[in-house]
Structure formats: structure tokens, C-alpha cells
Amino acid sequence: MPARELLSRYNDVDVVIIEGYKTEGFDNIVVARSGVDRLRGKSSLDLVDGHTLALACNEALARQAFDAGFATRAININDARAICDLIQDHLA
């Protein structure tokens, strides 16, 4: 089922957090524990696009993203407070 159709079923909610639907144009946070997405067998960095608010990852992948010229903010994958702050700031 397309994500927009699924979301149309929700009423009277402020926020819906979904996993997946990476190509449907929603603002997103790319979460990557390693540089390779095991399900797709491709670089996790190729999921970063114009809708990506941040890359939640380890320090090595953040360095790799910086070296590759990505302008996307990197957040430590284990820093739940920073991720929550990012979401709150984005929704404000």
C-alpha cells in the first residue's frame, strides 16, 4: 500500500513515524550502523537525498560521509536526545 494512502487513514494525530518508504519523498533520518545496507547490498550513504534531515550513524560513517562531500548533518546513532531534538526542531 502506498504510504500516502496509509497515512490518510490516520486522523487527529500530530506525528506519524514510519520506517521504510525511502523513495516516497518524505523528510527522513537515514539510520545506518555500518556503511553497507545489508538488505540492499549497497552503500548506506546512497539513501541520503534532498529529504534527509540527518544521518544517524557511527563516527566512521560520519567521517566517510563528510569526506564524500555530503552536507547532511551527522548525529551519533546512540545519542537519542540529539535525534529527538532534531525531530522537535524540524516540527517546530
pLDDT tens string 20-55: 888 889 999 999 988 788 788 888 898 899 999 999
| Predicted structure pTM score | 0.83
Residue 71 C-alpha cell reads as: 552536507
Average pLDDT, the chain: 90
Q: What pLDDT shows up at residue 58?
A: 92
Q: What pLDDT shows up at residue 21?
A: 87
Q: What pLDDT shows up at residue 57?
A: 94
Average pLDDT over every residue of 49-69: 92
Average pLDDT over every residue of 50-78: 92
- The continuous run of DSSP H or E covering 20 comes out as none
CB atoms closer than 10 angstroms to residue 81: 8
Strand, coil or helix: 88: helix
**Structural domain range at position 16:** 3-91
If one counts the domains in the chain, the total is 1
